[in-house]
Amino acid sequence: MVNFRYAVARYMPDLFRQEPRNIGVFVVSDSHIAFRLVGQKRDDGELDLRKVRSVQRDGSVYSEWFAHWTELVERLNRSHYFPSVFADRAISALVAASGNMFTIRDGGLYVPQADALTVEDVADILFQKVVSAEMIGHGLTDDDDEPEAQPGTLYGSVLATFREYKLLTRKAEPTTPLIRVRAPVLSTLGAPHRPKFSQLNSKLVVMQDVDFRRGSEESVRDHALSTAYMFADIQSANGAAQPVEVIAIVSFAEDRNFDAQNAGKVALSRVPGARMVDWTDSFDRERFVRERLAVAASHN
């Protein structure tokens, strides 16, 4: 299994208060650097200034650092360092490329929980875990425990079903047997995971939607792999304190994304005890909802 080094890009909006915000990650293998920064377009890697208001309102200074860091990564990726020293040299160069408000800090070693992850896969995973949804630009904050979903999506259907059966709660207490939305769950990284749904009674149940019908082959595969990673990491971080059950709520495509579906199934099956609920199967869906109702109706 390949291990990676990573570094975290941070923005300090107020130098007096010293409260940095994570705005990106750099992941380093023995020969390549992949990075994800707030506002970075997935297709061409350029900066979309419309998506950086969570960092700076006009984005002028951030855009300069974005260009500086992008050029540095490109230069390091063209370098001819031996694999045995590439990661150390790259991390040192990245950390040195810091100012007062925009800095890069060494995050240390990252050991993936799933096999066959590339440096690009790990960059996607860590970006979602290290950078808050508010900074990424999804419009979510820590107080938004029940965000709206787009009609027709798997997440929207699951959310609507939970609402119909009055299974959701806005209470912050983790001891409630009702289902919480995007509630923080302990991770091995520092920043908590925020799975789509979680429910706690005698054990912690973590649920995440994985829709194989929507998006490109690459994005669907990445989402399935990141879900498998999150499940495994939550088990590692919480398993000693309480039992953890992980459930992927899936919707399979019959005519597309075959490779992504196979890769996703394999990754999820490797997580100990992981279960998949086929939301398009009425029997599977109804049994799953009955289970959630039973947990919500019980108390320790």
How many Å apart are CA 278 and CA 274, to the nearest integer? 13
Q: Edge-to-edge strands of the sheet including 33-37?
A: 33-37, 21-28, 4-11, 102-110
Residues 181 and 126 in one domain: no
What's the pTM value of the predicted model, to 2 decimals?
Answer: 0.55
Which of 107, 111, 127 shows the shortest CA–CA distance to 34? 127
Residues 230 and 183 in one domain: yes
Residues 123 and 29 in one domain: yes
As a whole number, mean pLDDT of residues 95-99 equals: 90
Answer yes or no: are the C-beta atoms of 193 and 184 closer than 8 Å.
yes
> Is the residue at 141 inside a domain?
no
Q: What is the predicted pLDDT for the residue at 205? A: 94
How many Å apart are CA 206 and CA 195, to the nearest integer? 7
> Is the residue at 77 inside a domain?
yes
Lowest-pLDDT range of 132-146, 198-212, 248-262: 132-146
> Is the residue at 148 inside a domain?
no
Q: Which of 81, 102, 136 is the last residue of a domain?
A: 136
> Is the residue at 167 inside a domain?
yes
> Is the residue at 210 inside a domain?
yes
Q: Which of 109, 136, 163 is the last residue of a domain?
A: 136
Answer yes or no: are the C-beta atoms of 69 and 37 closer than 8 Å.
yes
Give the number of other Cβ atoms within 10 Å of residue 9's Cβ. 27
Half-sphere exposure of 294 (CA within 13 A, CB side): 7
How many Å apart are CA 231 and CA 39, to the nearest integer? 27
Answer yes or no: are the C-beta atoms of 285 and 278 closer than 8 Å.
yes
Backbone angles phi, psi at 207, to 5 degrees: -130, 135
Residues 132 and 25 in one domain: yes
> Is the residue at 96 inside a domain?
yes
Residues 185 and 226 in one domain: yes
In order of 34, 87, 179, 263, the CA distances from 3 in angstroms are 14, 11, 35, 20
Residues 118 and 162 in one domain: no
Q: What is the predicted pLDDT for the residue at 53? A: 66
Domains in the chain, number:
2
Residue 43 has pLDDT above 50, yes or no: yes
Structural domain that includes position 54 = 4-136
> Is the residue at 188 inside a domain?
yes
Q: What is the predicted pLDDT for the residue at 209? A: 92
Percent of the chain residues past pLDDT 70, beyond the cut: 82
Q: Which of 136, 164, 199 is the last residue of a domain?
A: 136
Residues 100 and 161 in one domain: no
> Is the residue at 40 inside a domain?
yes
